[in-house]
């Protein structure tokens, strides 16, 4: 069991506010980054974080069945952002917010010389543009937030095996792209991950 899940268990069973604070402090920055990466405004992300944790706090007794608190909070946060933006309709699924998950390429100047910088940046941008929004989100959740396949699956509302297969396909696509464009695989992966920070 993840340490956050232990804090969650203590909070829901005993109302330990210190445990709730630990959960908040460990996730707040990742939630904010996740919201920004999905294309939401800073203020909306801040509001959604506060709403998410407020609802979690007041609803803890009704959430006894929640075992994986990290995935649950990410999903709550995502739903709240969609509601705030007005995309959250009763019949509309989470997947229908297409074209909002954005990743921009930034390259650290000391990684490659300036002559190759623009060429590599353009190649990486082409690779990123070839990924669907869902694929970008999977990469972000796995490599930037560090979530497990089961947590990614919970957040996206898919089966764990589907999350695993999607990540495998993305890595294969990255390898193929690297070899086609004469980029070392590690360099392409590094630039992909660096681009997720912006």
Q: How far is CA 107 from the centre of its chain?
A: 21
Task: Write down the H helix ranges in 59-198.
Answer: 69-85, 114-130, 133-139, 149-156, 160-180, 185-195
Q: Tokens 């294309």 — which residue? A: 39
Return the axis-axis angle of helices 185-195 and 160-180, rounded to nearest 10°.
120
Say how far apart CA 52 and CA 59 lie, in whole Å. 10
Q: Dump pLDDT digits (tens) for 38-75.
A: 888 899 999 999 999 999 999 888 888 888 899 999 99
Sign of CA dihedral 89, 73, 43, 97: negative
Say how far apart CA 14 and CA 6 lie, in whole Å. 12
Q: Tokens 């979530």 — which residue? A: 147
Q: Are 151 and 70 contacting, i.e. CB atoms less than 8 angstroms apart?
A: yes
Domains and CATH numbers, the chain: 3-95 (1.10.1740), 114-195 (1.10.10.10)
Picking from 163, 159, 96, the residue whose alpha carbon sits closest to that of residue 133 is: 96
Q: How far is CA 72 from the centre of its chain?
A: 13
What confidence score (pLDDT) does residue 78 get? Answer: 92
Q: What is the dihedral of CA 140, 84, 41, 194, to 10 degrees?
A: 0
pLDDT (average), residues 83-107? 54
Between 2 and 62, the higher pLDDT residue: 62
Q: How far is CA 88 from the centre of its chain?
A: 19
Q: Dump pLDDT digits (tens) for 167-194.
A: 888 888 877 777 777 666 555 566 555 5
Picking from 128, 139, 156, 10, the residue whose alpha carbon sits closest to that of residue 71 is: 156
pLDDT (average), residues 154-179? 86
Specify the range with the lowest mean pLDDT, choosing from 18-27, 56-65, 106-115, 152-161: 106-115
pLDDT at residue 92 greater than cutoff 50? no
What confidence score (pLDDT) does residue 61 get? Answer: 83
Q: How confident is the model at residue 195 (pLDDT cuts 50, 70, 90)?
A: low
What confidence score (pLDDT) does residue 174 get? Answer: 76
What confidence score (pLDDT) does residue 1 get? Answer: 47
Kindly state the DSSP code that residue 109 receives in the 8-state scheme: T
């Amino acid at each position: 069991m993840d340490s956050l899940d232990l804090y969650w268990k203590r909070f829901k069973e005993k109302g330990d506010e210190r445990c709730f604070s630990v959960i908040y402090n460990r996730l707040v920055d990742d939630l904010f980054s996740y919201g920004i990466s999905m294309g939401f405004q800073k203020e909306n992300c801040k509001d959604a974080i506060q709403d998410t944790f407020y609802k979690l706090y007041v609803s803890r007794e009704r959430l006894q069945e929640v075992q994986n608190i990290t995935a649950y909070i990410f999903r709550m946060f995502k739903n709240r952002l969609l509601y705030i933006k007005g995309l959250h309709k009763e019949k509309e699924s989470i997947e229908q917010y297409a074209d909002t998950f954005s990743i921009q390429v930034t390259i650290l100047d000391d990684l490659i010389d300036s002559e190759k910088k623009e060429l590599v940046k353009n190649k990486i941008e082409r690779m990123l543009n070839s990924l669907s929004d869902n694929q970008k989100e999977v990469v972000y959740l796995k490599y930037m937030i560090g979530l497990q396949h089961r947590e990614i699956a919970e957040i996206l509302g898919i089966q764990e095996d589907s999350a695993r297969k999607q990540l495998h396909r993305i890595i294969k696509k990255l390898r193929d792209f690297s070899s086609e464009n004469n980029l070392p695989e590690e360099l392409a992966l590094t630039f992909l991950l660096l681009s997720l920070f912006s």
